[in-house]
Structure 1
C-alpha cells in the first residue's frame, strides 16, 4: 500500500469496481499521487483527477516516473514565474521565498518551497507559520511536484490541506498557431486600462493595491486587449518576459462571457507569443488548474504540455 512519502510520485492503483458471476472486476489507474488520507487517495491521471476510497483499492504501488524535467529546470522556471508575479512583500528562508500580497492570489501569498530552507523541514514549516501569522495571513506553501514531495509528505502528516492541483505548462513560441483573420485586432499596451482592470476583477475579485503592484512591476510586461466594433472590451491577456532563459509568461487570458467561442483567447495568445518573440523569448509558460478542463483543452490545442505540477498547501485552521 502507498504511504504519505509517495505523494508527488507516479503510482499505479488497481481498483475494485464490482463483481460479475462471482468474479471480482478491477480497473487500473496510472498517474501522480496528489493526496493520501485515512480514507481516500487522489491521483492526477491524463484524463483528470481521480479520488479513490481506500476500501476499493486492491493494490497500489509506486512506479518509475515518466520522463520529467531536471530539478534545476523546475526551480529555474518557478523562479521566472515568481519574477513575473512579484509579491510586494518578500522574505527568504534559505532558498524558499515567503510572499505576501494582501491575500490577492495564492501565487503571491504562499511560500515557494524550492531549494534548501537552510534548516530541518519541520523547523522550516514552523518558520513559515510564524511569518504568515505575523502578517495576519493564513500560512500557505506552494509545493512543486515531485520536487517538493518530502514537503508534501510532511505537510500531510501535519494535517495541512491542499487547493486544486495546478499544471505549469510550456510550449515553444513557434508552435503557438495563428488566429482568425476576421477578429478585431489585439491592442498591446505598456500599462493596463481601467476596463482591463475591471475585467480582471470580474474573475479575480476586488483588486487591492497589491494587485496593481504585482501586475505592473516586471520590467518587461505587456497588456493585451481586444475591443469589439462598438468599443466594448471583450478579451484581455498579460505577458511578461523573465528569468535568465527569458520565459514568456502568459496570464489572465480572459474573454467576456458573451464573446466566448469565437477564438478570442487563441487570438490574444498568438499576439502575446509574437510580442514575446520580439523580446527575445523562445518558450512560453502558463499556469492552469487541472480541473479547468476547458482551458486545459484550449492550451493543448495551442501546443502547451505539462512541464510539472504544484499544490498550494493550506495550514489547518487554528
Structure 2
C-alpha cells in the first residue's frame, strides 16, 4: 500500500467502480499522487484531478516516472535552491553545506548532504551534530530523495525525527495558464521601478463569479507591509531572515494590491547560472483568497524571470498542502524530487 513518501510520485491505482453479477468491476488510474489521507487519495491525472476513497482502492503502487532526474540534475537544482535562500552563517564539510540563520526556516538552518563529505558517513553526521551544537541549535539535515537515501538510513538508525515530505517542483517557462504573461513587466519596464500593471482576474476555477482588479508591482526590495505579511506566515523575521530574503543578486518582490491594499505577496529569484527562477513566499491574505491573486503574483514573477533569461521555474511545497499543489499543477509544475527535513533527537 502507499505511504506518505509516495506523495509527489507517479502511481497506478486499481479501484473498484461497481459490481456486476456478484463480481467487482475495476478501473485503473495513472497519475501523480498529490494527497494521501486516512480516507482518500488524490491523483493529478492527464484528465484532471481524481479523488479515490481508500475503501474503493483494490491495489495501488508507485510506478517509475516518465523521466527520472539524474543525480547531477538533483544536485544542480539543490545548489540553485540554496543560492535562492542564502543562510548568513555557512560552512562546508567536504561538499556538504552547513547553514544557519538564527533558526528561521528549516531550509536555512539545515545541512545539505550532497556530494562527498570527505569522511565516512557516520563521522560526517557526528560533525554535523557538533557544528550545530556550536551554533546553539538542534542539528538538522535536509535529505533530497532518492539521492540522499543512504544519509536517511543512517539518520533512521540514530533516531532522527522527520518532518512531512516536501515536493521540489519544476516547470518550463513560460508557465502554463500563467495570468496574462504577455503583459508581465520586464526589468526595464515601469513596473520594475514602481509603477504597477493592472490585471483583471477570475477565480482559480475559471468562472466569472468573482472578480478582483489586482495591481501587481515588482520591486527590488520588499516594503514594510510585504515584510509584515511574510513575518505573519513565518512567525517573525529576525535579522538573519532579512539576509535570507534579500541577499540574492537577481531578485524581485511581488506586491499584489486590491483597491490600494496589499493582499498578496511573492518572491522571485534567478540563480543556478541564470537558469532557474525560484518562487517562494507566495501568500494571499485569507479574505482575498480564491480570486486568482496567487496566479497573478506567480505570473508576474514568471514573466520577469523569463525576461532576464531563466528557462525553468522551481518551488518547494509541503506535500500535505493540497490546495497549493493543485494550483501549481494547473500552472504546469511537476515533482522533480522530494526532500525530508530530519532533526537530531534531544
Normalised TM-score (structure 2): 0.75
Q: 1:61 to 1:266 in 2, by over 3 A?
A: closer
d(CA) in 1 for partners of 2:236, 2:222? 16
Aligned length: 288
- Which residue number corresponds to residue 200 of structure 2? 181
**1:254 is the counterpart of 2:283:** yes
d(CA) in 2 for partners of 1:11, 1:302? 18
**Equivalent position to 1:194, from 217, 224, 230:** 224
- Which residue number corresponds to residue 56 of structure 1? none
Point out where structure 2 has 5 or more consecutive residues left out of the alignment.
14-23, 39-58, 181-198, 202-212
SS of 2:102's equivalent in the other structure is: coil
d(CA) in 2 for partners of 1:117, 1:146? 18
d(CA) in 2 for partners of 1:47, 1:135? 36
- Which residue number corresponds to residue 215 of structure 1? 245
Q: Is the 8 A contact 2:10 2:33 kept in 1?
A: no
Over residues 1-57 of structure 1, what are the superposed CA-to-partner deviations in whole Å (9 max), with x where a residue is unaligned?
A: xxxxx999x89999xxxxxxxxxx9x9xx99xxxxxxxxxxxxx7142468xxxxxx
d(CA) in 2 for partners of 1:64, 1:308? 13
- Which residue number corresponds to residue 236 of structure 1? 265
SS of 2:168's equivalent in the other structure is: strand
d(CA) in 2 for partners of 1:67, 1:151? 24
Displacement of 1:298 in angstroms is 0.6
Displacement of 1:170 in angstroms is 0.4
**1:133 is the counterpart of 2:120:** no
d(CA) in 2 for partners of 1:268, 1:205? 22
d(CA) in 2 for partners of 1:61, 1:267? 36
Displacement of 1:308 in angstroms is 0.5
Q: 1:7 to 1:315 in 2, by over 3 A?
A: farther
d(CA) in 1 for partners of 2:215, 2:117? 47
- Which residue number corresponds to residue 150 of structure 1? 150
Following TM superposition, the consecutive aligned residue runs of length 4 or more in structure 1 with deviations greater than 4 angstroms are: 10-14, 59-66
Displacement of 1:228 in angstroms is 1.7
SS of 1:272's equivalent in the other structure is: helix
**1:67 is the counterpart of 2:67:** yes
Displacement of 1:114 in angstroms is 0.8
d(CA) in 2 for partners of 1:137, 1:103? 7
Over residues 90-135 of structure 1, what are the superposed CA-to-partner deviations in whole Å (9 max), with x where a residue is unaligned?
A: 0000111000000000000000111111111100000000000010
Structural RMSD (CA): 3.4
Q: Is the 8 A contact 1:140 1:313 kept in 2?
A: yes
d(CA) in 1 for partners of 2:139, 2:160? 10
Displacement of 1:245 in angstroms is 4.9
d(CA) in 1 for partners of 2:85, 2:60? 38
